[in-house]
Amino acid sequence: MKLRHERRKREAGRKSPSWMITFTDLITLILVFFILLFSMSQIDLQKFKTAVGSFQERGDKKAAAEAGSEESKLPGKSEDDLLKKINDYIEKNRLSRLITAKRDERGVVLVLQEAVLFDSGKADIKDQAYPLLHKMAVLFKTLPNQIDVEGHTDNRPISTYRFPSNWELSAARASTVIGYFTTKGKLDSSRFLAVGYADTKPVRDNRTESHMKENRRVEIVIRK
């Protein structure tokens, strides 16, 4: 009996203190906690890398699309394409004697001399000009662009009941041309702007009759 009691005392002496068990459990919990944190950080990092990769891919696609868009918007590219289309149309319809096409900072400009459309000092369209304007209306139906119609005169003064000056004459001619496009040609009137410049924008000096003839014109500006 005595020996059994001594053995139990020795075994009790070998057992760890109670605080040591609690401390061990705490260390274990802390270790588990940090393992969880580490695992979560790895998952978040992976998600972050995935998200960054996704944004980068989208950015690359957007940059490529914008690069293509900017290339198509390079100065002169779209205008050159439009000018070619119009020149092809002019040639196909045998209008080269009546219309010239060029490109400037405003867009593509069609130039029609006064004699093609009007009698001197008048703003009534000649009968023989109607087929020409009809073909132009057909062309404009294939284009989305805004269109300005500009009237220009030489510097010789005019003073009639209807046209007290070249300002009224040039504006009336521009308006008459637009009137044909919107009524006979069935084009949307919101696409057009009529401008009368009188003699303020000559292409040549007005020293000779041939130069004045060049200045008397209607310009149709197909905007960029």
Q: What is the pLDDT of residue 72?
A: 44
Determine the pLDDT at residue 109: 96
Q: pLDDT tens digits, residue range 34-66?
A: 676 666 655 555 665 665 565 566 655 655 555
pTM above 0.95, yes or no: no
Looking at the fold, whether 169 and 88 belong to one and the same domain comes out as: yes
Note whether 86 and 108 are within 8 A (CB).
yes
Q: Are residues 189 and 115 in the same domain?
A: yes
Closest by Cα among 118, 95, 88, 106 to 180? 118
The verdict on 24 and 82 lying in the same domain is: no
Low-confidence ranges of the chain (pLDDT < 50): 71-74
Select from 39, 54, 72 the last residue of a domain. Answer: 72
Q: Are residues 108 and 15 located together in one domain of the fold?
A: no
Region at 80 (left for phi over 0; alpha for psi -120 to 50; beta for the rest)? alpha
- Which one, of 195, 147, 201, lies nearest residue 175 by Cα? 195
Residues 53 and 131 in one domain: no
End-of-domain residue from the set 49, 72, 95: 72
Q: Are 215 and 153 in contact (CB under 8 A)?
A: yes
Q: Structurally, how many domains does the chain consist of?
A: 2
- Claim to verify: residue 120 and residue 170 sit in the same structural domain: yes
Q: Please give the Cα distance from 93 to 91 (Å, whole number).
A: 5
Nearest Cα residue to 153 out of 202, 205, 92: 202
For residues 172 and 123, is the Cβ–Cβ distance under 8 A? yes
Q: Are residues 47 and 82 in the same domain?
A: no
Chosen domain end from 25, 48, 72: 72
Same domain, residue pair 43 and 96 = no
**Do both 18 and 85 map to the same domain?**
no
Q: Both 106 and 213 in a single domain? A: yes
Residue range(s) defining the domain that contains residue 96: 77-223
Question: 67 with 176, same domain?
Answer: no
| Same domain (yes/no): 121, 49 | no
